[in-house]
């Protein structure tokens, strides 16, 4: 077992976030410019709906940019697309990242599994494997000792 990371530590797919946040800004700007540039025979409500459409697309992009995993002295916070979940170290039994998995899966003490989308190979397989190993080491150290 290697030396665990200093806490707190946050894992997030940074490249995905950068692309998504940029795309969100472009979408809002594009739809707003389109709303202003529409022909004069378009009504105000059509223009407003165009801007609202851009905001809705951006909201989906922001939701897709949310995932992260934060480890601190008390446990883990897993933020996925829609939900966040706080886990004590003792609740996490195992950290899994198998070949072909889209993200890390956490086996929990209650027999369920939780996706940790914040650690995913899409941003680089080696980075994901290193993050999963670091998280595994933290779970083994903190879960066993209850610190």
Q: pLDDT (tens digit, 0 to 9) for every residue of the chain, 147 residues total? A: 555 568 899 999 988 899 999 999 999 999 999 999 989 889 999 999 999 999 999 999 999 999 999 999 999 999 999 999 999 999 999 999 998 899 999 999 999 999 999 999 987 889 999 999 999 999 999 875 554
Q: Please give the distance of CA 47 from its chain centroid, rounded to a whole number.
A: 33
Q: Please give the distance of CA 125 from its chain centroid, rounded to a whole number.
A: 16
Domain 67-145, CATH number (from 1.20.1510, 3.30.160, 3.40.1710, 2.30.29) = 2.30.29
| Cα angle, residue 121 at apex, residues 116 and 123 outer, rounded to 5° | 105
Residue 88 token pair: 């004590």
How many C-beta atoms lie closer than 10 Å to residue 81's C-beta? 12
User: What pTM, to 2 d.p., does this model score?
Assistant: 0.82
């Amino acid at each position: 077992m290697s030396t665990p990371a200093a806490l707190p530590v946050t894992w997030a797919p940074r490249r995905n976030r950068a692309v998504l946040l940029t795309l969100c800004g472009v979408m809002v700007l594009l739809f707003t410019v389109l709303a202003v540039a529409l022909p004069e025979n378009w009504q105000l409500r059509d223009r407003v709906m165009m801007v609202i459409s851009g905001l809705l697309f951006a909201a989906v992009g922001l939701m897709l940019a949310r995932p992260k995993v934060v480890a601190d002295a008390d446990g883990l916070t897993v933020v996925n697309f829609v939900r966040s979940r706080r886990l004590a170290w003792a609740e996490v039994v195992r950290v899994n990242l198998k070949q072909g998995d889209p993200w890390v899966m956490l086996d929990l003490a209650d027999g369920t599994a939780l996706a940790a989308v914040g650690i995913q190979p899409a941003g680089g397989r080696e980075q994901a494997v290193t993050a999963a190993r670091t998280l595994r080491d933290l779970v083994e150290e903190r879960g066993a000792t209850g610190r």
